[in-house]
A and B are shown apart, each in its own frame.
Chain A
């Protein structure tokens, strides 16, 4: 009967120092220790009493969060005047200060500049309460409509696929129990069986609506209308309840790739890959079960000898890059010790890379696929091969002209190798960068690699400098403190900042839009401080997880500088210009230490392939990322 696990109850009382401070604030100079103690006990008891009463109001208000209003009502119960004018939605804005051996919590009352308020654009009028009806269940079955939660939550899907014997779906469990009831109602027998219950078969019947949806979506995805496609992809990436259609989609993609590779239809392959991306982006889906269809399709798009009708003109390289990134993403998400996706993929790529007869196109794909898997992979698998590959490239470049196609292929492989290897080398190789040394180590490519590495290092150094200048302001959200930093940051520091931590894979300044995940992110933090003149000062700390947050990460892309140099971008630059009438958005982008890698990424600058569909992708993403913020109250 003793319950060890529950937390111990004890009577906590307020510190007597607080009593003293309060007494002083009303003009009572010296309060005896005993009276302080008596007061604090009394006050603690009353506060607890009020809190317990306030809880009642919370329960009856059918909420989980205690509000200041509840406290007011509880005070009213006790015939105590409630605190007028104290309204707070989220947090209690007390500030802490210490100094002169005293510690204080105080309520910060800012001086408000009236012109700020006058010039503030009016906030959106809160929407009126409205009523909306939907079917939660039809004859005992929950329809898969946007108003309902996805039939099988993602965690469930995950446990289903990773631990097939353990998981029993909640919905089917009920069905199972109903069936057993209908069959024999031999409860003892049922109980005995329960432990060895087999994983129930899931049904794959689609409703008429779902079939229509499927048809529309697939047609739009591979159709000619780009706007429609964008819409369809967004639907795939965001809609819940696609779980039941997942097998259809995956078959559609794998069949589509099979057919279109043979026909060398580059456009369609690109569309299909974008579908894969959208499926992966959907937060309600867990694709593990369908990887056996999706991975071959993606890998095909990476390493296939020929993907388009005119290999010398068409930009199939972009598709390979894109697919390689998809591959890396799925490795990162789904690779477990049981399925070993990553090692199997790595093995496949390496095998064809080692093969002498491999064509340039396939070679490019293999290298791209490996490179996306992360720095470690590059270090162990690609860099040792640099001299061999260099010799091969040299043979094509300098040797007799075999064919234009080979030449282009070699050229692409070369730039790809340089791009990926430079940043890794810059990190691992000690200074100084001697061209001769590089040549000795890496053969033909050594010279170029050396220059790339030098560039990468320069960038890293620059970034580190920026960090030192600005980080201090960020940790000081209090405007009253003096800013010892440069004017750049001070003007923005005087506003409450939003702090956004973003993983290094952020495409903030990367030249590849639309690829949220890059392999093996080192711990780099970006802090984005956004201020808008005169806007209500809200303090938000947004932390984005580094793995899955594709869309939200890229959402910062359009607003942040994409050029190489200015790491810090400020509009309305001078100190104190905040109060200008324009409702300006300001962003300060800072990267915190241990951040060199991503910079080098950028430094190795590959120009975004503007012709490729990938740029379109970024547009889609932008639109998508904005939509959740637009309207928050609708459940879908």
Chain B
């Protein structure tokens, strides 16, 4: 039973992504346009979903399916559901079958399917192939003895084996170089305006042709091909090329998840209609079928009408593992609006009024500091260390105390006024407390908003919840199995999100030991996770150099941002919930307009990975902290005001970034050999920075 559910789980994880656009559309259209009520309704919805399916271990994920399928399920959605039902039935999970059928209103379709004799057989095959795929995906060792039937139109969800078989129909391997260079010559000879656009083809074609050569055991030809053309690729693909160049055997191909993803997901290019026509004509004239096949099968070309884009426009959006964003992906409505409290005590910040920065240096950390967090009221500070410990410090003179033991608590007069004071054990008062429990480096820590709990995520694959009353571990959330890179509490507590090496982000509630949602879609490690200030969305950054925004309610990916050239290591929402800032190893901060789904700014200046980003409490200033030992302050208001959001830009998504980083930079403060690991604005807009002093 457990095994089955796990397989099902994985299956949903697999399919979840590719259907999201369609589902999300439906969900959004159905949803009433309530803005302020969201906060109240959301927990109920979630708890409903979980209680419905209590007893089923996969409840969290299943509940997402009915919600979305309630709209107008497309043909393939139905097929998926039917396959799932078949699977459940065969494993005698009748209760789950019932629930799923009821929720998905599937009775009639399914019945008609089963009535049809051949249909039943086909279904069995479907389920079988699905299962085999699941095992392939999870075990990462495709040994497909049966030839699976491509259940879905491979348009949206190319099957692993389909892709593999696609590679088997090969042209003459010796001609690959000729094909590629003829295309290269063609692209270099076209008009300037088209050249930039068509140049985007180089990288995906290069990778696919190389993989094809490797797959068909033309090792030496592949090597020659790589050496000849790898120099042409854009420098931001360097990391991927490095992986690629090590990969010289068909056997390597099977184990490499990153490249498996590259082949199963289609590389997205955005090309204007004119350029596309030009390309098509050329390929048809030359009968260059090999390339045409690859374009047809492995690339997704998003054609738009209008002016071709310039090189800089393309460069600003490209760089991710799987090309650019499809235009329609970011069309869904995101309700980012939230109610903001005005605080009179707060110091108004601005270009003329820069915040003071207080720097907390961790001394004697011996390079072992891996994560830091402050409580919202800035009274506590937590550090995660490579030696598996979590330490909590008091940032105020008030010392940390534990609650007394149960026997001692019995002796307390419970009626007294200062009972809250009396329950604390004075003897345990100290400046800092150590929390032991993890068995690997702690990569993420997050305080709950009410500062009663602390979350920590670690290399050992667990997320732990600690009580700050007793300073003990309350729960260990297992699920990721692989290192968990980051975790973050929701702005109102109770829920939290975590992301890790298993390439998914998970949404948890503190009182459930199983995740409520699994956000699958990233093609590589999920490196950082953040909650939207209104709790309805979760944003994740990944090693595949993309950012995804997920709807907590239905688990859909509602925004997909490309443009970073390195793994993303920091994310921050503006306090009004409209904008997002992201920082990566390439030393650039990118600003995003969530509503329009557009990149609206690029802040250049840092020379190393940006590990910390934070908006001031009013959103006027963005602070960024980096491995290059600097804290920089940016004029975020100006950055947001400067952006041009005319209808055309919004419609096409072609942004034109002004190069104004220098104007936006308000201040730069060097620390003395201390990389900045975390930034935090106090409620009065004092900036706190933290990092480990590096004595070398």
Contact = CB atoms under 8 A, between A and B. Distances in A.
Interface string A1-27: 111101011110000000000000000
Contacts of A6: 235, 238
Contacts of A49: 246, 256
Given A3-B235, A9-B230, A135-B357, A61 B674 contact: no
A430 interface: no
Contacts of B567: 56, 59
B391 interface: yes
B543 to A, nearest CB: 7
A187 interface: yes
Nearest to B501: A77
Interface in B351-386: 351-370, 381, 383, 385-386
Contact of A635 (B355, B440, B441, B672): B672
B354 A633 contact: no
Given A2-B231, A59-B585, A129-B385, A633 B673 contact: no
Given A56-B525, A129-B385, A187-B663, A136 B359 contact: yes
Interface in A129-151: 129-140, 142, 147-149
Main secondary structure of the interface of B (DSSP, over half): mixed
A127 B611 contact: no
A197 interface: no
A138 B667 CA distance: 12
Interface in A165-190: 170-171, 174, 177-178, 181-182, 187
Contact of B689 (A48, A126, A136, A148): A136
Contacts of A634: 363, 693
B245 interface: yes
Contacts of A61: 367, 370, 386, 441, 443
Interface residues of A, number: 60
B514 interface: no
A131 B360 contact: yes
A181 B364 contact: no
B363 A633 contact: yes
B667 A62 contact: no
B354 A140 contact: yes
A56 B354 CA distance: 35
Contact of A178 (B202, B245, B441, B666): B666
A11 B245 contact: yes
B695 interface: yes
Contact of A77 (B482, B611, B663): B482
A134 to B, nearest CB: 6
Most central of B235, B357, B440 by chain A CB within 10 Å: B357
A153 to B, nearest CB: 9
Interface stretch (B37-45, B247-255, B284-292, B504-512): B247-255
B234 to A, nearest CB: 7
A2 B232 contact: yes
A60 interface: yes
Given A131-B360, A131-B363, A136 B631 contact: yes
A632 interface: yes
Contact of A9 (B241, B248, B363, B391): B241
B113 interface: no
B483 A77 contact: yes
A128 interface: yes
A140 B443 CA distance: 31
Nearest to A142: B669
Interface stretch (A38-46, A294-302, A572-580): A38-46
Contact of A48 (B246, B353, B668): B246
Contact of B360 (A8, A44, A133, A171): A133
A477 interface: no
Interface string B655-680: 00000001101111111111101000
Given A62-B675, A187-B663, A57 B459 contact: yes
B529 interface: no
A323 B248 CA distance: 69
B527 A138 contact: no
Contacts of B611: 62
Contact of A73 (B252, B459, B527, B674): B459
A155 to B, nearest CB: 13
B232 to A, nearest CB: 5
A63 interface: yes
A432 to B, nearest CB: 55
Interface in B625-661: 627, 631, 633
Nearest to B609: A59
B357 A69 contact: no
Nearest to A137: B357
Interface string B513-544: 00000000000010100000000000000010
A48 B662 CA distance: 39
B246 A129 contact: no
Given A136-B631, A178-B351, A148 B363 contact: no
A559 interface: no
Contact of A136 (B368, B386, B459, B671): B671
A350 to B, nearest CB: 46
A424 B342 CA distance: 80
A136 B354 CA distance: 12
A61 B359 CA distance: 20
A52 interface: yes
A262 B245 CA distance: 77
Contact of A11 (B223, B359, B366, B672): B223
Contact of A45 (B252, B369, B609): B252
A132 B360 contact: yes
B409 interface: no
B504 to A, nearest CB: 16
A9 B206 CA distance: 14
A65 B694 CA distance: 12
A134 B223 CA distance: 55
Interface string A102-140: 000000000000000000000000111111111111111
A3 B233 CA distance: 8
B363 A149 contact: no
Nearest to A64: B627
B243 interface: yes
Nearest to B349: A140
B351 A181 contact: yes
Contacts of A9: 226, 230, 238, 241-242, 245
B111 interface: no
A129 B356 contact: no
Contacts of B689: 136
Contacts of B199: 1
B545 interface: no
Contacts of B695: 632-633, 635
A198 to B, nearest CB: 18
A147 B361 contact: yes
Contacts of B369: 62, 129
A317 B295 CA distance: 87
Given A9-B241, A9-B245, A137-B667, A635 B361 contact: yes
B592 interface: no
B668 A174 contact: yes
B364 A139 contact: no
Contacts of B459: 57, 73
19 contacts: A2-B232, A41-B248, A45-B248, A56-B543, A59-B585, A73-B440, A126-B364, A133-B358, A134-B361, A137-B356, A137-B667, A138-B356, A140-B353, A140-B356, A140-B633, A140-B667, A174-B666, A174-B668, A177-B662
Top-5 shortest CB links A-B: A140-B354, A136-B357, A48-B246, A136-B359, A137-B357
Interface of A: 1-4, 6, 8-11, 41-42, 44-45, 48-49, 52, 56-57, 59-65, 69, 73, 77, 126-140, 142, 147-149, 170-171, 174, 177-178, 181-182, 187, 632-636
Given A52-B243, A57-B441, A61-B367, 14 more contacts: A56-B525, A60-B483, A61-B370, A61-B386, A126-B364, A129-B363, A130-B363, A136-B631, A137-B355, A170-B668, A177-B662, A177-B663, A632-B695, A635-B361
